[in-house]
Structure 1
């Protein structure tokens, strides 16, 4: 976690309720110069606190808006996670592709990894 704190292109947001961590969002950015303009995020929120997902993403977008390095935010989401996909679309993310049968749930049961992105609007 210390690396996230000191790397200006990466950060982590924590959601707490009554001193308990109920969710987090982390964004990572590659070191390679040609890819360093983008960050990919992952997020986890306990089911009971799903409403905090939007707040975590809003904080990410605000952070990225003022971050001089990040111009594009990307994510991957299970194709079966319709609620998350709807939230991402509502927040301006668009699908840019899919990794077909990328996730194996059980024997002979696969789902796609939906790749989405949003360009960061700077002031």
Structure 2
């Protein structure tokens, strides 16, 4: 795909992406803006734990990891993790991370579209769920554009270091 003079590809994630995905995650979390985790909670995550996490995704037919690559470098990812309880087995949750320098280029939309396409093809998946900070209007706008609906809100779910509270906007898409 090509947008804003940046060519990128969307592909399935693989075990060899572990180190760069860990770096992206740490970088995005260090921005301290839109993630539940804070830097000190993930800074010391060992590579072998990230590899185990990726293997668990790759080994589960109801989970997926999709990455975006620019010039051979992984710059973002989206993952879907299914629920294990029988009554929730038709659903799962999404998380997405994109390196700061590659935002606003359509990569997030392309990753989300690839995930929705994957879910629509997977007969075991019926609902994609996610939570997003109420302050992340850019992400909320993208999710709505891609057919996600707001299904609820957890008021003052997150408390920032400055004492400010942020709601968790719960969104979903049925596939």
Looking at structure 1, the residues matched to 82 and 113 of structure 2 have their Cα atoms a distance apart, in angstroms, of 18
Looking at structure 2, the residues matched to 21 and 100 of structure 1 have their Cα atoms a distance apart, in angstroms, of 35
Q: Are 2:107 and 1:52 equivalent residues in the alignment? A: yes
Aligned-residue CA RMSD in angstroms?
1.0
Structure 1: 5+ residue stretches without partners: none
Structure 2: 5+ residue stretches without partners: 1-53
Q: Secondary structure of the residue that 2:135 maps to in structure 1? A: coil
Q: Deviations over 1:18-63 (max 9, x none)?
A: 2222100011011111000001100011232222000001000110
Which structure features the higher share of strand residues? 1
Equivalent residue, structure 2, for 1:28 = 81
Q: Which runs of 4+ in 1 moved over 2 A?
A: none
Which structure features the higher share of helix residues? 2
Instruction: Map 1:12-91 onto structure 2 (within 5 A).
Output: 12-50=65-103, 51-91=106-146
Looking at structure 2, the residues matched to 4 and 106 of structure 1 have their Cα atoms a distance apart, in angstroms, of 32
Larger radius of gyration: 2
Looking at structure 1, the residues matched to 149 and 123 of structure 2 have their Cα atoms a distance apart, in angstroms, of 22
Aligned residues: 120
Q: Cα offset for 1:81?
A: 0.6
Equivalent residue, structure 1, for 2:157 = 102
